[in-house]
Amino acid sequence: MCGIIGCTGRGEATLETLVDGLRKLDYRGYDSAGVALSGATGVDVVKKAGKLDALVEALSGERERLDGTVGIGHTRWSTHGAPTDANAHPHTDADGRVAVVHNGIIENYQSLRDELADAGYSFVSETDTEVVPHLVARALDGGAEPEAAVREAVSQLEGSYALGVVVAGVDAVFAARRDSPLVLGLGDGANYVASDVPAFREHTDHVVYLEDGEFARVEADSWVVTDADGDPVDHEVHVVEWDPEDTGKSGYEHFMLKEIHEQPRALRQGLQGRVDEMRGEVTLEEFPSLSPSRVHLLACGTSYHAAVYGAHVLHSRGVPAQAFYAHEYASATPPTDDALVVGVSQSGETADTLSAVRAARRRGAETVALTNTVESTMARECDHRLYIRSGPEIGVAATKTFASQLVALNLLALDVAPGGDDREAIAALRDLPGDVQTVLDSSRAAEVAREYADADAYFFIGRGPHYPVALEGALKLKEISYEHAEGFAAGELKHGPLALVTERTPVFATVTGEDQSARKTIGNVKEVEARDAPVVAVTDGRTEVERYADHVLEIPETHPHVAPLLANVQFQLVSYYVANDLGRPIDKPRHLAKSVTVE
């Protein structure tokens, strides 16, 4: 997802504030960056393809020229047009009066572009965004005041957008959103607009989250939000609880490694005040008492793996549950009349998941947002919300948010389907942060990674609740190492994938407990061993799987539903160290964005 930052009231520090804000957002994935500063007579723009360092270098010879005190900045993830200087944001009109940054996709841009071209407006990029400054310019040419001109332009757009607009001679940033997040930061003598709070968090902790269809005018000492008709909208001002230092690396080489090691704290935050071991109860104070006859979990990517896990846990407690890819559910929605629909999204802004949840709501379903982001779009739109409380996550590849999602789904299952005595499960959750710390302190993942960093491919297998963690282990490895990896239900290995197994394809198998599922997985391990493939066993030591493994990654013994969370930590570490050994850009893998806000 692209990043937006805008500010007013920073005076000579405006340019520095914009660049620093973009740096705080560069974890989101991007391929070009740019800034625009608005002065009394015009708008100055500097933008470059590539990473932020290329923009900073380009700015080094321009600083004396860039003296505007109102500005916007952008990191672009290409959708329309290749990552070139011309296609980078901000975009301007031909006369340099208007500059625009945009997240999202303008679906009717081609018809607008044709209309504007016929009227004599010329285009220099391939982007959908460039129609916006020309629409504003056309309104200005027709005699409209700047704010009215921006409103008129926005009213003609179809699709998704978060917009930041500056107009020469106006000491304000105009902002509008639809289906793409935008937040205001309210400071002392300076105010901000951004796609995410980290862009301005070091300057203020007071924020206002814009709703779909809203328009904002932000000046140095004032701000106002209105609806599409121009009527003022009252907004609650929220206080961001996390500290700016939470988004630093704290001495770790990468954000991903830091966030893997933050999991014990994140899990404690997710459990705090929610479990009572003595009474064997889960108490979700912010959550109503629900007794669904069935549950649909909607998600994408890593969150989908969490949803598959959640469906297994719910089903094991007697609640029929099914996980769906959100992008499939939205286009062909199954019946939801009596289903509780849970949208699982760490950002709460995932476009596919939002569309699916909205489709479910239109069909009358009761909805829950399971997310990390307070006041995200999904949290605001759903009937109920369950926050995972993992704190900010900067690395593109989700780690602590996935673990926190699994904990939250356990709590949801215990809450909506309490059993006769849940003390064992609750005790395991209580001990989980300490057990994760034990894995972090004793893991041999770095050694395993070094041995297999040059493998041809990697396979992950697991049964029951370990299956979605096998999927996640493979996804994590391919995301950050760019190596081929696949996850399978262990029983599926012999139904085709076994043909791919060689002495250069290590197989990571999770075997915990000593029940029939564990014994069957050992049988799958023997099949792999017979074909000379290296085996890495993740185990609690309760079976003899070590006899058939080349390496063992140990986890503490725990409840069957909690063991996958510990196995997941080992897989995260293996993925990290393989990618590190290969010299990959771990925190910002190519082509990927932290939050996918376009469908």
Catalytic residue among 2, 7, 300, 382: 2
**Residue pLDDT, tens place only, 479-490:** 999 999 999 999
DSSP conformation class of 337: T
Using alpha carbons, select from 551, 568, 555 the residue that is nearest to residue 260. Answer: 568
**Residue pLDDT, tens place only, 516-542:** 999 999 988 898 888 889 999 999 999
Angle at 566 between CA 565 and CA 572, to 5 degrees: 85
Our answer to whether residue 7 is catalytic in this structure is: no
Peptide bond into 90 cis (omega under 30): yes
- Judged by DSSP in three states, 294 sits in strand
- Of the pLDDT bands very low, low, confident and very high (cuts 50, 70, 90), residue 250 is low
Quote the CA–CA distance of 401 and 263 in Å, as a whole number.
9
Q: Which CATH architecture has domain 443-599?
A: 3-Layer(aba) Sandwich (3.40)
Quote the CA–CA distance of 355 and 251 in Å, as a whole number.
39
- Asked if residue 432 has pLDDT above 70, the reply is yes
Pinpoint the alpha helices (H) of 363-504: 377-381, 400-416, 423-442, 445-452, 466-481
The confidence score (pLDDT) of residue 19 equals: 93
The confidence score (pLDDT) of residue 336 equals: 62
Percent of the chain beyond pLDDT 70? 94
- Asked if residue 399 has pLDDT above 60, the reply is yes
- Of the pLDDT bands very low, low, confident and very high (cuts 50, 70, 90), residue 1 is low
Instruction: Please enumerate, as own/partner, the contacts of 58-66 that have beta carbons within 8 Å and a separation of 24 or more.
Output: 59/15, 59/19, 59/35, 63/15, 66/15, 66/35, 66/37
The answer to whether residues 146 and 139 touch, using CB atoms and an 8 Å cutoff, is no
Strand partners, 8: 70, 191
Please spell the DSSP secondary structure of 343-385, one letter per residue.
EEESSS--HHHHHHHHHHHHTT-EEEEEESSTT-HHHHHSSEE
The confidence score (pLDDT) of residue 25 equals: 82
The confidence score (pLDDT) of residue 402 equals: 96
CA distances from 200 to 11, 214, 244, 369, 429 (A): 16, 21, 9, 26, 35
Determine the distance from the C-alpha atom of residue 286 to the mean position of all C-alpha atoms in its chain, rounded to a whole number: 23
Domain pair 3-240 / 443-599, same fold: no
List the domain boundaries for the chain. 3-240, 246-437, 443-599
- Asked if residue 569 has pLDDT above 90, the reply is yes
Quote the CA–CA distance of 64 and 44 in Å, as a whole number.
12
Say which range, 234-243, 345-354, 483-492, has the weakest mean pLDDT.
234-243
Q: What is the CATH number of domain 246-437?
A: 3.40.50.10490
Our answer to whether residue 48 is catalytic in this structure is: no
Average pLDDT rounded to a whole number, residues 494-501: 86
The pLDDT mean for the chain works out to 90
The confidence score (pLDDT) of residue 513 equals: 92
Catalytic residue among 48, 258, 400, 594: 594
Which helix (H) or strand (E) covers residue 164, if one does?
Answer: strand 159-167
- Of the pLDDT bands very low, low, confident and very high (cuts 50, 70, 90), residue 334 is low
CATH superfamily, with its number, for domain 3-240: Aminohydrolase, N-terminal nucleophile (Ntn) domain (3.60.20.10)
- 180 dihedral zone (left: phi>0; alpha: psi -120 to 50; beta): beta
**Residue pLDDT, tens place only, 167-212:** 999 999 999 998 788 999 999 999 999 988 889 998 999 999 998 8
- Asked if residue 285 has pLDDT above 80, the reply is no
